[in-house]
Amino acid sequence: MSAPYGPLTACAEATANIAMVKYWGKRDSILNLPVADSVALCLDSFPTRVLVTQAETAQDEVIWSGRPVQPPQLGRFGRILALLRERSGLRCTTRTEVRPQLPDAVGLAGSSAAFAAFALAASAAFRVEMSERELSALARLGSGSASRSVPGGFARWHRGQQADGSDSFSERFASALHWPELRLLAVIVSRQPKPVSSTVGMIRTSRTSALFPLFADQCSRLAPEAQAAIEGRDFDRLARIAELSAQTLHGLCLTASPPILYVRQRTIELLELACDLKRSVPLFFTLDAGPNPIFVTLAPHDLSVSREILQRFPDVEILSCGVGGGVRVADPGPIRSPS
Ligand code: PMV
């Protein structure tokens, strides 16, 4: 995969992915190696575009939604650039612009899109040819979940066994076309940044929650089951797996010391609504490390589900997506500003 631009300029875009079997907990926090496999759906909408160019500055610079990224967040980009400098032999510094279509705080796994796009744009800028597997492992250095946004579609992130992370990457086991009726409705109840970052939350839960070993075992068991449910387009089976994984993640967070509470009052009310609605329509929920639940349903029920949500909670915003994605080279031209 490489880009057709001048020396050290390249642009790429990718979309976020939503895990059905959650990644939570690292066996190596520098290389972002997970304790277990995870399975996710990559979104077809709201791509994040990343432009990498050669810089005149002494240090690498990253501008995210118009604001400079500061350490320690900058280090997540630095790990990827260090590896590319080593592979290419080029020593120049870079300026990176990250342009999400959605504001970062909506809880739609924004870092997964950004680091997948950054891995492709930066490797193309440094003229380093990479297979999809290598690119997925490279994106993982910035954000673990970004490894799943590289292949897109329905992706499984393999935990891997090697200490250097060379076998910890994601691969697509079904294309987006495999299940076109699947619809995701992200219900935005809050745009506030989460109180505890995923990285801090993972460390705290792994050190202090007695449930952590159970969670890791559960992920290892659920990942192949989720893959089989998706391959067989078995909605009810996927629903049971995805809800169990999300509930266990939040159970872990609640039992950490001090506890981590990502959910809000409105989140609970929406989960109650999901439980009501699923008596009459195919529906399940999932919830990442934030307060904004994602309802998963099958077309054409997405329209009636959206109506029901808005009728009960007129103040929420709903973002509707299908499955798609996969990182790609993009035109660096202007895009719609974040709303
Ligand atoms: O990739 P990170 O470090 O932002 O972690 C993401 C973790 C969850 O979104 C909560 C779960 C997942 O598997 O995407």
Write out the DSSP string of 154-167.
EEEE---S-TT-TT
Strand pairing partners for 155?
Answer: 40, 172
What percent of the chain stands above pLDDT 90?
Answer: 89
Q: Distance between alpha carbon 254 and the CA centroid of its chain, in Å?
A: 22
pLDDT tens per residue, range 212-245: 999 999 999 999 999 999 999 999 999 999 999 9
pLDDT beyond 50 at 337:
no
Q: Is the CB of 119 under 6 A from ligand 1?
A: no
- Alpha-carbon dihedral of residues 296, 301, 306, 311, nearest 10 degrees? -130
Q: What are the CA-CA distances from residue 250 to residues 39, 114, 239, 261 (Å)?
A: 17, 25, 17, 8
* Domain residue spans of the chain: 9-175, 182-321
Cβ-contact 46, 320 below 8 angstroms: no
Find where tokens 């639940």 sit: 293
Task: State which fold the 9-175 domain adopts.
Answer: Ribosomal Protein S5; domain 2 (3.30.230)
Look up residue 102 and give its two tokens.
Answer: 């959605």
Cβ-contact 215, 252 below 8 angstroms: yes
Predicted local distance difference test score (pLDDT) of residue 334: 59
**Ligand 1 atom closest to the CA of 23, numbered from 1:** 13
Q: Is the CB of 14 under 6 A from ligand 1?
A: no
Q: Is the CB of 19 under 6 A from ligand 1?
A: yes
Predicted local distance difference test score (pLDDT) of residue 108: 72
pLDDT tens per residue, range 18-69: 999 999 999 999 999 999 999 999 999 999 999 999 998 999 999 999 999 9
Distance 144 CA to ligand 1 centre (A): 7
Cβ-contact 160, 31 below 8 angstroms: no
Q: Is the CB of 289 under 6 A from ligand 1?
A: yes
Distance 296 CA to ligand 1 centre (A): 18
pTM to 2 decimal places: 0.94
Q: Which residue has the higher pLDDT, 338 or 95?
A: 95
Q: Is the CB of 288 under 6 A from ligand 1?
A: yes
Task: State which fold the 182-321 domain adopts.
Answer: Alpha-Beta Plaits (3.30.70)
